[in-house]
Amino acid sequence: MAEPIRLIVGLGNPGSQYDKTRHNAGFWFVEELAKRYNGQFLNEKRFSGEACRINVGSESVWLLKPMTFMNRSGLAARQLADFYRLPVQKILVAHDELDLPVGDVRLKQAGGHGGHNGLRDLHAHLGADYWRLRLGIAHPGDRNKVVDYVLSPPTRDEEIAIRLAVDKAADQIALVLAGDLQKAMNELHRK
């Protein structure tokens, strides 16, 4: 058994102009959890973001949406983790993933940032040992188009696929909070 997760950071950008963009898939995940478990995000200046606490059965977890923009996501995560004395192994970061097909979802611990600026900043503030929930958005095929691609809305079919991946991941949250991340991984990675 792994350490039970006590903080889930959803990566995205604040502001209505970014709400429906591919880069906000991490926000979509924590918003789905808040919706399912009656959480209410509140602006928490001490954590540079919006946060809420939800209970899933007998387990509780903090949800965090950094309001520092994607490239500075690590600050908010560090502030909340420091305040509640949470080790990095108890943190899960949900984010968009160019290297996975649209709608795929993968759970893993540690690793590189793969050029993802939100993860790069998290590495700087937390190290690399946090867990990641990777929500596939696919690659546009040309690295020069990546910025415009991630900051634009997915097609209707792509959004449906990403939202289904978010739902699939949210269905495993009880296992994640209990520290049974291997079982959650097996469920998520099954075709």
CA distance 58 to 3: 16
CA distance 166 to 181: 16
Q: Which of 23, 95, 116, 189 is catalytic?
A: 23
CA distance 117 to 7: 20
Please name every residue paired with 55 in a beta bridge, in sequence order, or none if there are none. Answer: 60
189 is an active site residue: no
Q: Which two tokens stand for residue 142?
A: 């040309």
Task: Give the active site residues.
Answer: 23
